[in-house]
Amino acid sequence: MIDGSGRIWGGAVGLGTVAITGAAGNIGSVVRQALRNDVTRLILLDRTPLHPCASNEEVHTVDLRDAAAVEVALSGADSVLHLGGLPDEAPLAALLEANVLGTHHVLEAARRTGIDRVVLASSNRVTGFYPTAHVTSPHEPVRPDGLYGVSKAAIEALGQMYADKFDLSVICLRIGSFEERPTELRHLATWLSPRDAVGYIRAALTAPRSTRFTTVYAVSANTRRFWELPEQSALAYTPVDNAELHAASIPEARTPADPSAPQAGPYALPDFTLKHIPR
C-alpha cells in the first residue's frame, strides 16, 4: 500500500526505469528529485536542456512534436510520466500541436517500444464549468473552461483509445493547483501540495498493470474541494494535506462562496480565452 508520504509499504514495488517528459517543469523537477533514489534509471525529457544530477539519470533535449526523437528517448523505459506540453490557455493550434500531438507521440512511442504504463498529466480544467457547489466525479461528462481544457480532454480521449485498442495501461491525473502552499481563495478547494503530487504519481506508476484505464482528480484533502477523491479501486492513494490549514493567510477565506460560480474561477471568463482567438 502507499501512505500519505508516498512511501511504499507491505512489500517493495519496483519502479524500474521511469521516463518523465516535461522534466524541467515545476512538477517534473519535484518528481525527479523524489523518485531519483527509487528507480533503476530515470530518463528525463524536456525542450530545455537538462544535466544529470545522479549516475542513474539520463537526459534528452527533445521536442515532443518530433515523433522519432520521442521514440528514441523513451526506448527502454518501463513506464512514462507525461508532463510535457503547454501548461495554460493559448491559441488552439499551439495547444493541439504541443499537447495533443505531443501526447500522441508519447503514446505511440510507448506502443512501439513495449512500455506498458503511461501516466498522463491531465487537468482539473477539463471540468471547469461545473459549479462550485457540485462535487464532480471523473465519470461525468467533460465541461472544459477554455481551449487548454479542450486539449486536456483530447489527451484523455487519446489515452482511452490506446488503452482500448492497443492494451496500454493508461492513468490520467487531473491535476489541481500545484503550489508550495495555497495563496488565493480558489486554492482552498483546488490545491495540490508537492507531497500529495508525488504520492499520486507514485501510486499511478505502481498501480497494478491490470488497471487498463482510469481517470482521477489529483487534489489534496482540502475541506472545500469540489472534486471527488479517488476510490481505492481506481488509485490506491489517500492525500494528506489540507489547504484549510493555510486559510488564515488568505484574506478572502471568510467570504461566502457563490455556489453557482464555475469551479474554474477566472479561467472561465470569456476574455481569458478570447485573447487567444484571432479576430
User: Which residues participate in catalysis according to the annotation?
Assistant: 148
Residues ≥6 apart with Cβ < 8 Å to 156: 120, 122, 126, 142, 172, 215
Q: Are 8 and 201 in contact (CB under 8 A)?
A: no
Q: Are 44 and 20 in contact (CB under 8 A)?
A: yes
> Could you give phi then psi for residue 208, rounded to 5 degrees?
-55, 140
139: burial class by Cβ within 10 Å (0-12, 13-18, 19+)?
Answer: exposed
Our measurement of the distance from residue 182's CA atom to the centroid of its chain's CA atoms, rounded to an integer in Å, reads: 18
Rounded CA-CA distance 151/101 in Å is 10
Rounded CA-CA distance 27/218 in Å is 12
> Could you give phi then psi for residue 262, rounded to 5 degrees?
-70, 145
Give, rounded to a whole angstrom, the gap between the first and last alpha carbons of the chain.
Answer: 53
Rounded CA-CA distance 134/147 in Å is 22
